[in-house]
Each structure stands twice: as structure tokens, then as C-alpha cells.
Amino acid sequence: MDVLCRRFEGQVALITGASRGIGPAIARRLAAEGADVALACNTNPELAQAVADDIAAMGRKAVVLQQDLTVVRGPNKLLAAFSEHFDRLDVLVPAAGKAEICALEDMTEEMWQRSFVIHLEAVLQTCQASHPLLKKTGGRIVMLSAVGAKAAFTGYAAVGAAKAGLDSLMQYMASEWIKDGIRVNGASLGTVDSGILEEWEIGPRVRRFIENKTVGVGIAKPEDVAPLVAFLAAEESRYLVGQNVVLDGGVTLGIDFEQWVRSAYGADATFAQDAKA
């Protein structure tokens, strides 16, 4: 997809979780529209560096910042490192996350807390640490949430609940920081083909389910998320405050009785007797 608009000329974006999955696609998109980019990651800095090299080849500045955001003052250290390379911050996308699949009954306290620290606490602290810089530029924050915060998905409780906390945090942040000229919105995502499915035992079933539900569209690619994030980060969405835009290919939209029944019981199934019984 050719990017024709250049909405971020002269601006700087900080993206966490920028080594794998959705983060790199967002970084590339913002850079393609003129932004200089800081790529924050914890593991796999060499992957983030490859993204940075691509962005540098576009003629933009790109810096990799390695930082564990889950440790005490981790986000503050990230912003301190950021400030060594850039003198302004216009767009913050806290995209770092790691979804682990587990039923509530088998959940350990450690796994539960891990999810809340990476998906929520680290995001709060990254936003807090970015606030002074964002206030100077009239900056934007784009949160990455999940439709699993609203509807229950198999084994997704620890992430879904943390993302519900994030959605609420996003509302509070948006309503409190709009007076500082900082605009906060979110993208509420369905399943994205970000590499995470390969780590889940139920990955192949999730993929099949999404492909059945989104006939002819398929599972979302990170490149499908990036344009929405860019829009929410751009001046043209200036009147959008504290909103979550659902991007899920229609998976949580509506109920298709027949499609569900046929995918569960086969294309030729008839239910006249069962349904009455």
C-alpha cells in the first residue's frame, strides 16, 4: 500500500514493543509519513534495529532504545534515554505486550500479575513519564487495546481484564489531559497475525475461527492496524477524544446463527429435531 499523505513531517514518535508484531508496522507507517521514530523494545533489539535500518533508508531518523518497562522506574529510564536522542515527542504508542493464554482455574498469581504489569502498569508509567514532552507539542497517545476487554475469548481472561482496565485508564487520561492539549484514544483490536498465534496452543483454532468469521478478509495483519493508529495520531482526528475504535474485521459484530451452527456441526447439518427437543 503506497502511503500518499505526510501527516507527521517534523514530528517524533515513540513506539514501545517495536521489535515484533504490531509495533514495527506502526513505526514504519509513521516514518513513511515523515516522522522520526524511537523504537523501544525489551527483547530482540536486533529485530528492532532491522526496522530502524529500513526507516533510516527512508531518510528518517530511527533509534532503538532497549529497556524493560516492567521494572521499577523502567519507563522513566526509557524517556531519559529517549531525550538523549530527540528534543520533542509528538506521538506515543505504547504497543508493548505479551498475551498468554490460560484458563482462570489454572492461572497462577504470577501470570495474572505479569499481564497487569505489562499491559497496564507499564503503560500508565510510560504515559506519565511522557506527559511533560507531550504537553509541549500538543501530543497524542494511541493505546492498543483488545476486543477481549469487552467480550470473553477462550483463555484470554488475564489479558482481557487488563485491557479493560486500560480502556478505562484511557478514558480517564483523555479527560484529564485534554486540558494539557494531549489527546488520548485507543484502537481496540481483534486477533492480529503478529506472531503471537504461533506461541499459543490454540493458535491454529483461533486462526481457523477468524478466517471463517471474516470471509474473504482473513486475519488482520499488523499493516491493517497501522493506518488506524496513524489516523488517531494525526491532526485530522483532533476532535476524537477518549474513544476506542474497534478494528476486528467484524468478528465481534453481530451474531450469525447459521454460520455458527454449520461451523460447529458441519455444512450439511440439519437441526429440526434437536432444536425442538
Partner 1 sequence: MEFSGKVALVTGGTRGIGLEISRRLAQQGADLILVFKKDVENANKAKAEFEALGRRVQLVGSDLRRSAGVDALFEQVASGLDQIDILVLNAAFGTMGEVLRMGRASWRASYDTNVLSPMLTARAALPWLKKNGGVILATSTLGAHTAYPTYVAIGSSKAAMETMVRYMAFEWAKYGIRANSVAAGPVETRAIDWFRDGDAVRIFTAKKGLAGRMGLPGDIAEVALFLCSDQSRWIWGQSLLAEGGILTGVDYDDWMEENVDRSEFNPGAE
Residue at 197: amino acid letter:
L
Retrieve residue 16's grid coordinates.
514501545
Site for partner 1 (CB under 8 A): which residue of 3, 45, 47, 112? 112
Report strand pairing: 36-41 vs 62-66: parallel
Helix, strand counts (H, E) of the chain: 10, 7
Residue at 96: amino acid letter:
A
25 forms part of the interface with partner 1 (CB under 8 A): no
**Smallest gap from residue 35 Cβ to partner 1 (A):** 25
Size of the site for partner 1 (CB under 8 A): 40
- Residue number with CB closer to partner 1 (80 or 178): 178
Binding mask 125-164 for partner 1 (x = CB under 8 A): x-xx--x-----------------xxxx---xx--xxxxx
Site for partner 1 (CB under 8 A): which residue of 124, 202, 234, 245? 124
Which of positions 53-82 make contact with partner 1 (CB under 8 A)?
Answer: 72
Which of positions 217-256 make contact with partner 1 (CB under 8 A)?
Answer: 242
Give Dmax (Cα) for the chain: 71
Sheet containing 12-16: which strands, arranged edge to edge? 62-66, 36-41, 12-16, 91-94, 140-146, 183-189, 244-247
- Residue number with CB closer to partner 1 (90 or 167): 167
What is the rounded CA–CA span in Å between residue 227 and residue 208? 25
What are the residues facing 144 on neighbouring strands? 187
| Region near partner 1 per CB under 8 A, out of 20-28, 123-131, 244-252, 257-265 | 123-131
Report strand pairing: 91-94 vs 12-16: parallel
Binding site for partner 1 (CB under 8 A): 72, 103-105, 107, 109, 112-113, 116, 120-121, 124-125, 127-128, 131, 149-152, 156-157, 160-169, 171-177, 242
